[in-house]
Structure 1
């Protein structure tokens, strides 16, 4: 498979969408799909789909299209979803509990192994049979259990300190839900998830549509 050292983030962010639709096609028993049919399904142009996939080798056959199973498996490998990841959550409030429940019920290959808190009222409670532990023990737990990903569901002020501790303990990636961008060493990947940004984008598109209707 063709691999390049520099693939744009825009391409990477489209791959999970492709994979999700391919999974739906698998469930329907569909074996192959053309780029035009896939375009109608995903909302991206056929040219965009072909261009994205060509970054990794293409995978399609002229006159045949794409093998649904083959493309699904290839994208899974590209995204690193052909293996499981062990995770810890820092922050056992509403958001931390929601993420723990989501990963538990949807069985996505991302396994929550530990949940940590500083609030003594939450320490000791169980979420899907996982006992919430004292944050002070997180470094030892991460090191002993070879944790891959840290999920930060703390306040803005605590997020960077938590990130530093998780990086020190040896995680390979951070999923940050605190309302602040965190910094990590170059070898630790990070996704800063700003929920409000998505709402602001939604507001823009709603108002844009409304203004277009009013001009008609």
Structure 2
């Protein structure tokens, strides 16, 4: 990613949500300001890393004062695009799709679920938190008519690429993929893959090698 003439690495971008989460906790505790050194003790990054990361976007801190917690929280939200609202659909109305539909924090952050889609006739017509499950055959038309920004794929891996192709044909802007497979996606469609099994297997590795030590 580039901001002006500065190229910002994905590693920095992936740290921003963590900054925002810890800043929200500080706000809940009524803390108004914090130094990079104090923040480093809480978040686990070095103070220099924090300053370097934030300087990519303007810095926001004042020498001798530190960071205004509320202002930094708001600015990071803007950097992450959370001052926008995104219309989303969920493809796959099984357990995972229903769990995402029921998670209201996404909606509070501006990701608004408009509809769900599935090929299972037993699921079509159901309403999950007032979100209707529709026939997947109607998905492309629905996306175009309702200006949907993000498609969330919660299908099995066998269906995932076909679903992604449908989303791409419908001019979707972003795909959040929970299917356990890598998708062939054009560069103009932003994609974030969430491989739950890989995360679990990493934990298994850590547990195994910790016990060996």
Shorter-normalised TM range: over 0.9
Aligned-partner Cα distance in 2 for 1:192–1:105 = 17
Describe how 1:82-101 pairs up with structure 2 within 5 A.
82-101=83-102
Match of 1:38 in 2: 39
- Give the Cα separation in 1 of the matches to 2:19 and 2:4: 18
Cα offset, 1:63, TM superposition: 0.8
Within 2, Cα distance between the matches of 1:105 and 1:46? 30
Residues 1:195 and 2:191 aligned together = no
Question: Equivalents in 1 of 2:92, 2:136: separation in Å?
Answer: 9
State TM-score, norm by structure 2. Answer: 0.94
Task: Report the number of matched residues.
Answer: 211
The 3-state SS of whatever aligns with 2:103 is: helix
| Separation in structure 2 between the aligned mates of residue 114 and residue 125 of structure 1, nearest angstrom | 11
Shift of residue 138 of structure 1?
A: 0.4
2:153 paired residue number:
152
Match of 1:206 in 2: 207
Cα distance, 1:4 vs structure 2: 4.9
Q: 1:123 to 1:5 in 2, by over 3 A?
A: farther
Paired residues of 2:6 and 2:56 also in contact (CA < 8 A): no
Query: Which position in structure 2 is the counterpart of 1:60?
Result: 61
Report deviation, 1:33.
0.3
Evaluate the alpha carbon distance shift between residue 104 and residue 60 of structure 1 in structure 2; reply closer, same or farther with a 3 A threshold: closer
TM-score (norm 1): 0.93
| C-alpha separation in 1, matches of 2:89 and 2:118 | 11
Distance in 1 (CA, whole Å) between partners of 2:14 and 2:202 is 17
Unaligned runs of 5+ in 2: none
SS at match of 2:24: helix
SS at match of 2:123: coil
Alignment map for 1:62-141 (pairs within 5 Å): 62-103=63-104, 107-141=108-142
Deviations 1:181-210 (A, max 9, x none): 112121110011100111111122223322
> Which structure 1 residue ranges, 5 or more long, are not aligned?
none
For residues 71 and 211 of structure 1, the distance between their equivalents in structure 2, rounded to whole angstroms, comes to 42
Q: Which residue of 1 aligns with 2:12?
A: 11
Equivalent-residue separation in structure 2 for 1:40 and 1:206 (angstroms):
25
Instruction: Measure how far apart 1:108 and its partner are.
Output: 2.5
**Equivalent runs, 1:155-166 vs 2, <5 Å:** 155-166=156-167
Tell me, in whole angstroms, the C-alpha distance in 1 between the residues paired with 2:6 and 2:190. 15
